[in-house]
A = this chain, B = another copy of it.
């Protein structure tokens, strides 16, 4: 079991990010326990918005919320090629033709735009920075809110499956180089958690608070079940949610 470190080592407790420009919403898809994130620059006249990891089943909910809030969706972004749900990207592009899809170059999937470590994805005066966090898949990236006076404080990181709250994480530990008060938003949670921080996971993540050898053994002994949607989801997600595939084909 984990040795409990004294409280004084816990980093800042901020658990929400403040920016006069950023609108932020966390959205949940129950069947696959997937979180989708909506971010927008509401100080910009066009209110440009992006979605991180949209799910096919909740596209209508997401687009309707975006409409209610008077936002203009410009990007639909994936952290990786998901094996557990079908991305909403393709459906969004069908329903809202101006939207561009984004995924990492290393994912080998289709998209309108490919990103690599260090790239910036701008929406209005705000941006997401790309960090390579391979492990779960080779092409996994983490999107981190920008660093700067106008950007959200504390920073927010959308980790995909590279880091899950307390439970998972197959990553290069890059995430732990972010400031301790960085808010971590995973692609999934199966226990009802919505957010965590770098400081918390360093102390309490039962897998990542171990050295590399121990970590490898833990992962080997998990005997993870074959993901139930992998055979349907991966081929669909490789074409970034049906980029060039007729909707009736899936």
Which A residues fall within an 8 A CB radius of B? Answer: 7, 10, 13-18, 20, 23-30, 33, 40, 42, 58, 61, 65, 68-70, 191-195, 200, 203-204
Contact B70 A27 (CB under 8 A): no
Q: Given the known inter-chain contacts A15-B23, A16-B16, please indicate yes or no for A28 contacting B69, CB distance below 8 A.
A: no
Contacts of A28 in B (CB 8 A): 28, 192-194
Known interface pairs A10-B70, A26-B195, A69-B200; 16 further A-B residue pairs with C-beta atoms within 8 A, sorted by A's residue number: A7-B70, A10-B69, A13-B42, A14-B23, A15-B23, A16-B16, A25-B193, A26-B194, A28-B28, A30-B30, A58-B192, A61-B191, A61-B193, A65-B193, A68-B204, A194-B194
Q: A13-B42, A17-B16 given as contacts; is B192 within 8 A of A27 (CB)?
A: yes
Give complex CA distance A15, B28 in Å: 16
Copies in the complex: 2
- 20 A-B contacts, Cβ less than 8 Å apart? A13-B23, A13-B42, A13-B69, A14-B18, A14-B23, A15-B24, A15-B25, A16-B17, A16-B24, A18-B18, A25-B193, A26-B195, A27-B192, A27-B193, A28-B28, A28-B193, A30-B33, A30-B192, A58-B192, A61-B193
